[in-house]
Amino acid sequence: MSVTQSPPGSTRAQRDNRAARVSAFAVVFAAFVGGGSYLPAALFLPLTLTWMAVIFLCGITAILAGHVARLRAKRLGLRGRRLALAGIVGGWICVLVAVLTLAAVVGAIGGLAVLIDS
């Protein structure tokens, strides 16, 4: 089975909702980064902050691209509404994980500061 691309002016190329794919890929990338670097990030603070920032930015990208994709799908009749919704939900989960990680890091640093002062 061969894979061919549609010419730019064809109906098939116009029916594609690229923002929905961007939204889903951002969530997949955040899951890949989060799953692959969780243990090293837990042992090294700068890596934890970088890990958290990447997941947060991927989540924001997924949310924004998902909303754009749903709007385009509704107005232009494009495909990908469910994929965009999955990207939005996954994006919010990524943001939640990043915020909870930040709270854990701040709590751990605060707890260590209290232990050192006493």
Residue 8 has pLDDT above 60, yes or no: no
Instruction: Compute how many other C-beta atoms are within 10 angstroms of the C-beta atom of residue 98.
Output: 22
Residue 98 has pLDDT above 80, yes or no: yes
Residues 53/106, Cβ–Cβ less than 8 Å = no
pLDDT tens-digit profile of 36-92?
Answer: 666 666 667 777 788 889 999 999 999 999 999 999 999 988 888 999 999 999 999
C-alpha span between 85 and 55 (Å, rounded): 18
Residues 24/87, Cβ–Cβ less than 8 Å = yes
For residue 46, the model assigns a pLDDT of 74
pTM: 0.77
C-alpha span between 98 and 103 (Å, rounded): 9
Q: First and final CA of the chain: distance in angstroms? A: 70
